Chain A
Amino acid sequence: MSDQQPTFRFSTSATIKHAVLILGALIVLLPFYVMVSYSLKSPAEIMQNTGGFFGAQIPFRDDYCVKLGNAIADCMVTPWIYNYTTAFEKAPLVRYLLNGVIVTVSIFFIQVIIALPCAYALAKLKFWGRETVFALVLFCLLIPVHAIALPLYIMLAKLGLTNTYAALIVPWTISVFGIFLMRQFFMTVPDDLIDAARMDGMGEYSIIWNVMLPTAIPALMAFAIFSVVAHWNDYFWPRIVITGNRELFTPPLGLREFKGDADGDNFGPMMATAVIIVTPLLAAFALAQRRFIEGITLSGMK
């Protein structure tokens, strides 16, 4: 293969592989391209599909502003400025972003608090039925969220918890994937380290938080990215449990603000909102890219 031959040599199989990969990457990136492009263009350019990537950035008339009785000259706006300011003005986007942070961070912390002791017990303690419990954990990995969404919703509704932060957070606090991932990592921690801690006088919980947690930071980082990405981007669950209260909207729900208005879809600001929602994740990914890949290989290895 290529790494055995340091000099360049044309290889049909490698070319085909790369062609397929490039094609795949293009398919994945195309929606992002459209999203960013639309967030910069005027409504007319979006409808007529003109203006290239950036649009011509010719000021256009904001009809809504005119309706409010302002002079037409005062209502001329540059498309990209209009899109991004509208995104923040029309919906309380900052509030949504804050909600997103509250929800994802709470979910992650509670997940860690529950997953670490579980994973520790499954990896390092010997008890009757441990393998069965682990098999159940693996089994739970197979259950899709959507299959249990309705019973979960009914439970929350009966408890009167819909339209609360609790409804957004509680169903996700036990992460089977997290337990599985951390268990696999803990299996690689040498038993001697735990025995040493026991000899030093630590109890089992103390071992989890003072010995296992610090050694598991790389795996936890990987899990953090999985967890945060999943819940930051989640549209399905918030859509179900947050029905009226806009104060509790998470960023993806905020996108709906621009959808289905009487005067038609307002794609420019909508795409600007999407860009704003995605950016924190992209930034986080760029910063933690190495760890993210580590995490994937970690879970893929075993």
Chain B
Amino acid sequence: MSNIRLNTITKKFGTTDVLKGVDLDIDDKEFVTLVGPSGCGKSTLLRILAGLEQPDEGQVIIDGKNVTSMRPADRNLSMVFQSYALYPHLTIRQNMMTPLKLRDLSTSQRLPLIGPFLARKEYKELFSQVDRTAKILKITELLDRKPGQLSGGQRQRAALGRAMVRNPLAFLMDEPLSNLDAALRVHMRAELTQLHQRLGATFVYVTHDQAEALTMSDRMAVMMHGKILQYGSPEDIYQNPANVEVAKFIGSPAINILSASVNDYAQICIQNLILDLFAPTQEPNITIGARPEHLTFCDDNPTALTGFVQHIENLGADLYYHVKIKDEQRPLIVRSAAGNGKRHQIDDLVHVKFDLNSTLAFAADGTRLQTHRKLMDELAS
């Protein structure tokens, strides 16, 4: 049982504002991801939650209790670090024993040599706890090795084991997969999600990799410049970004952003092209965003953009065409399934059509504009 609430957290390092009043609600048993580019304050937020940093203002509330000034160990959270941070001089078993010993044993029972002798029963219990956790993570045969003798993935598991062994209220993870190679990272992604379901614990996961955030989380918070820009389910954030920065950050390849204008009939126009899409705004200059999968090739028609294929990325199942449009700086990226219709070659003249239901519009300041397929009455009058 653990609801975590962060209330208007502010933090400054020197004169730089790292966090500018961040609010976050995390429900029990939820997998929440904090995602954002490096330097956005996501790790600092996690460290404040862990108690490793003190916020300048704001409170950390766990289960209705204000723990802002409590020591990290007393909050009963555990953390997995990017560099694993296993004690290099101890075996994996001793690494996993350490948090248990510090929590469950008295000072005299922790003494070397005499301690295990004095508290044989307690030690037996701790050993069996370690063994149980090791079995879940399938690292039993690694228990007597030292971290230096393990591969990256094995160390990752050992670090998870050390975090899991004491049944914390919540797991905090600071980019735990970023030191692994690509294949292992994808594998560990699935494994962590399964572990989350199996343990039924709260996970707070920090990453700069939007793919990790999209695949793993129940809810994700997109952070930039010390603020949470949007907090919601991955589907929601992908399909309904609150502003252009979120839209650009989430999704790979990145969303296509085009400058556009709104004419007197509230219709969105790109260059000379008038889309059958309406935006209720007085501003003439807006931007529109279209994800690669929301663009399709079509025959020449008045609602399509025309350009040349500049580059083709072949990902096996999908092809990404980079289409150079006249007067646009960046090429438009169009996804097309490999077996789907005619394959274009470099320098081919192509026509690109928007999926108007999924096309997003943003005001000049970056905020999202609602778009309509039909002109609304109040705008028409």
Contacts and interface: CB of A to CB of B under 8 A. Distances in A.
Given A192-B83, A193-B85, A201 B52 contact: no
A199 B78 contact: yes
User: Chain B, interface size: which category?
Assistant: 20 to 34
Interface in B101-119: 102-103
B50 A200 contact: no
A138 B86 CA distance: 32
A201 B103 contact: yes
**Residue of A190, A201, A202 with highest tally of chain B CB at under 10 A:** A201
A215 interface: yes
B81 interface: yes
A200 B98 contact: yes
A199 B79 contact: yes
B102 A202 contact: yes
A214 interface: yes
A63 interface: no
A198 interface: yes
Interface string B296-323: 0000000000000000000000000000
B82 interface: yes
Contact of A211 (B87, B99, B162): B87
Contacts of B85: 190, 192-193, 195-196
B121 interface: no
Contact of A193 (B47, B52, B87): B87
**Residue of A193, A195, A211 with highest tally of chain B CB at under 10 A:** A195
B89 A214 contact: yes
B169 to A, nearest CB: 13
Contact of B81 (A195, A201, A211, A214): A195
Contacts, number: 55
Nearest to B84: A192
B67 to A, nearest CB: 14
A199 B72 contact: yes
B88 interface: yes
A198 B84 CA distance: 14
Interface in A231-256: none
Given A190-B85, A215-B88, A196 B79 contact: yes
Contacts of B81: 192, 195-196
A211 B86 CA distance: 10
A195 B44 CA distance: 13
Majority DSSP secondary structure for residues of A touching B: helix
B77 interface: yes
**Residue of A190, A196, A197, A217 with highest tally of chain B CB at under 10 A:** A196
A198 B99 contact: no
Given A190-B83, A192-B82, A192-B83, A199 B73 contact: yes
B81 to A, nearest CB: 4
A200 B73 CA distance: 6
A197 B98 CA distance: 9
A49 B84 CA distance: 67
Nearest to A194: B85
A51 B90 CA distance: 58
**Residue of A192, A200, A211 with highest tally of chain B CB at under 10 A:** A200
Contacts of B162: 196, 200
Nearest to B87: A211
B89 A198 contact: no
A197 B73 CA distance: 9
B332 to A, nearest CB: 42
B376 to A, nearest CB: 54
A214 B83 CA distance: 18
A217 B89 CA distance: 10
B83 A201 contact: no
Nearest to B166: A200
A195 B52 contact: yes
Contacts of A200: 73, 98-99, 102, 162
Contacts of B98: 200
A195 B102 contact: no
A78 B50 CA distance: 76
11 contacts: A190-B85, A192-B82, A192-B83, A195-B50, A196-B87, A196-B162, A199-B50, A199-B52, A199-B72, A200-B98, A200-B102
Given A199-B73, A202-B73, 19 more contacts: A190-B83, A190-B85, A192-B81, A192-B85, A193-B83, A195-B47, A195-B72, A195-B81, A196-B79, A196-B86, A196-B162, A199-B52, A199-B72, A199-B78, A200-B98, A214-B87, A214-B90, A215-B89, A217-B89
Interface of B: 47, 50, 52, 71-73, 77-79, 81-90, 98-99, 102-103, 162
Interface of A: 190, 192-193, 195-202, 211, 214-215, 217
Sorted nearest first, the 5 A-B pairs with minimum C-beta distance are A201-B73, A214-B89, A201-B102, A196-B85, A192-B85
